[in-house]
């Protein structure tokens, strides 16, 4: 099919939920992708913080292929080795005791919402179903996760949303205290707000929320869908703060591009679910858990996590240098390989001009450009990205 054919059929047959760019991606290798016209791009979007190993990683492909030839799916009526190994690795390398597998970030959040309600139902009684989430957050598109997403632009037209959700201000502990009562069952927050504009949590804020939740037996849920699995230079972003939640949601990077999500919980909270309480046909599928098992193994045992940490520091330094050079860059923020620059010129122009010059970027919120490259990105590749970015910034500022 020709490039225009693909684009035309795309708009004819696919439901109109995304403003896709007018290019057709064809293949990738490492941090690079090529489109149908043979144009090469550096990819600092990485499937929106998903492609941990970039593209075409031979060992990753081989691991998935091997599993496909053995058994690719069997439902949770039967158990397989890949799902058990992945669960063991995640538990043994975290502060959690149990894991539930699903297929996406929004599903991991639904599972977390349900678990917190069931826990409170058993421990506090029927009315204790209120959840506090943060304004400017993003937790997904299904109705529960959408309700906890504290941004009206995503919710408009989809009401009635689920009852019992209240919104506090991110990084403002007093605003949480005002909303907490004896019916609060959970508090949900991102360690770094991703879609909301790459806003890291303050340590003191997380410490206070942790203390409050412990005192009042409120389930503390961290949405690490974007920040988890090495993105910030640690396996999970909350490790940087030395604060662990009761429940955590994962997805994006977990499978390196094969769809998989997970909810992890400490024993006491995990016990709230009994057989029949929650389920997923695809969740923990042997193909997806093989992919995720390979990703986590490469992070921990093949230097990928260490690379993410070092390259993250380097990227930050390079972006700070740009801030000194370009007055319209107002802020640089983020953790590890999840960085953002806040600008007071049009972000759409920067993204468009970067693309024309061979660099894929994605926005976050209204005024932030996000950098979430594959975790294998090298310093040389970051230098190359900065060069292209500067070209795009020079064009965009005019």
Ligand X SMILES: *Cc1c(COP(=O)(O)O)cnc(C)c1O
Tell me: is residue 223 an annotated ligand-binding position.
Answer: yes
Q: Which residue in 94, 147, 226, 339 binds ligand X (CB under 6 A)?
A: 226
Identity of the residue, 130 or 224, whose beta carbon is nearer to ligand X in the bound complex? 224
The interface region with ligand X, picked from 103-111, 173-181, 236-244, 335-343 by CB under 6 A, is: 103-111
Rounded CA separation 215/310 (Å):
37
Helix (H, G, I), strand (E, B) or coil at 44: coil
The 3-class secondary structure across 218-252, one letter per residue, is CEEEEECCCCCCCCCCCCCCHHHHCCCCCEEEECH
Q: Which residue in 213, 237, 251, 305 binds ligand X (CB under 6 A)?
A: 251
- Three-point CA angle 282, 287, 289, nearest 5°: 80
Tell me: is residue 67 an annotated ligand-binding position.
Answer: no
Annotate each residue in 122-161 with x if it binds ligand X (CB under 6 A) or - if it does not, as one string.
----------------xxx---------------------
- Please tell me whether residue 106 binds ligand X under the rule CB under 6 A: yes
- Please tell me whether residue 190 binds ligand X under the rule CB under 6 A: yes
Work out the end-to-end distance of the chain between its first and last CA atoms, rounded to an integer number of angstroms.
38
CB of 280 to ligand X, least distance (A): 13
Residue nearest ligand X by beta-carbon distance: 105
Q: Which residue in 47, 194, 334, 374 binds ligand X (CB under 6 A)?
A: 194
Tell me: is residue 289 an annotated ligand-binding position.
Answer: no
Tell me: is residue 105 an annotated ligand-binding position.
Answer: yes
The Cβ of residue 12 has, within 10 Å, a number of other Cβ atoms equal to 7
CA nearest 210: which of 244, 234, 250?
244
CB of 237 to ligand X, least distance (A): 11
Q: Which residue in 52, 120, 168, 225 binds ligand X (CB under 6 A)?
A: 225
CB of 387 to ligand X, least distance (A): 28
CA nearest 392: which of 369, 375, 367?
369
The Cβ of residue 36 has, within 10 Å, a number of other Cβ atoms equal to 17
DSSP-derived secondary structure for 178-214? TT--TTEEEEEEESEETTTT-EEPPHHHHHHHHHHHH
- Please tell me whether residue 238 binds ligand X under the rule CB under 6 A: no
DSSP-derived secondary structure for 372-388? ---TT--HHHHHHHHHH
Which residues contribute to the annotated binding site for N(2)-acetyl-L-ornithine? Answer: 141, 280
Which residues contribute to the annotated binding site? Answer: 105-106, 138, 141, 223-226, 280-281
């Amino acid at each position: 099919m020709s490039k225009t054919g693909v684009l035309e059929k795309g708009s004819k047959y696919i439901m109109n939920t995304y403003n896709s760019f007018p290019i057709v991606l064809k293949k990738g290798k490492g941090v690079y992708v090529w489109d149908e016209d043979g144009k090469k791009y550096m990819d600092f979007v990485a499937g929106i913080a998903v492609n941990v190993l970039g593209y075409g990683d031979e060992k990753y492909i081989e691991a998935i292929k091997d599993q496909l030839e053995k058994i690719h799916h069997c439902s949770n009526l039967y158990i397989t080795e890949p799902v058990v190994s992945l669960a063991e690795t995640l538990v043994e390398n975290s502060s959690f005791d149990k894991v539930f597998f699903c297929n996406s970030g929004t599903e991991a959040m639904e599972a977390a919402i349900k678990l917190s309600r069931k826990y409170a139902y058993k421990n506090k009684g029927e009315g204790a179903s209120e959840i506090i989430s943060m304004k400017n957050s993003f937790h997904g598109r299904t109705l529960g996760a959408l309700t906890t997403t504290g941004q009206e632009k995503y919710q408009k037209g989809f009401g009635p949303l689920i009852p019992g959700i209240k919104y506090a201000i991110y990084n403002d502990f007093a605003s949480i205290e005002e909303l907490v009562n004896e019916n609060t069952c959970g508090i949900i927050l991102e360690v770094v707000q991703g879609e909301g504009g790459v806003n890291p949590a303050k340590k003191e804020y997380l410490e206070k929320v942790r203390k409050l939740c412990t005192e009042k037996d409120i389930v503390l849920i961290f949405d690490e869908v974007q920040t988890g699995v090495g993105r910030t230079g640690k396996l999970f972003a909350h490790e940087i703060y030395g604060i662990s939640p009761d429940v955590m949601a994962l997805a994006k990077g977990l499978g390196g591009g094969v769809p998989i999500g997970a909810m992890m919980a400490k024993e006491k909270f995990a016990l709230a679910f009994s057989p029949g309480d929650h389920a997923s046909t695809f969740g923990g599928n042997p193909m997806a858990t093989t992919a995720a098992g390979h990703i986590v193994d490469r992070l921990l045992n093949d230097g990928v996590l260490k690379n993410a940490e070092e390259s993250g520091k380097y990227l930050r330094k390079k972006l700070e240098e740009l801030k000194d050079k370009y007055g319209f860059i107002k802020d640089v923020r983020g953790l590890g390989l999840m960085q953002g620059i806040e600008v007071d010129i049009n972000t759409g122009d920067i993204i468009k001009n970067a693309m024309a010059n061979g660099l894929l970027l994605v926005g976050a919120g209204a005024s932030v450009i996000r950098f979430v490259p594959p975790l294998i990105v090298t310093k040389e590749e970051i230098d190359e990205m900065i060069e292209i970015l500067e070209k795009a910034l020079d064009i965009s500022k005019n």
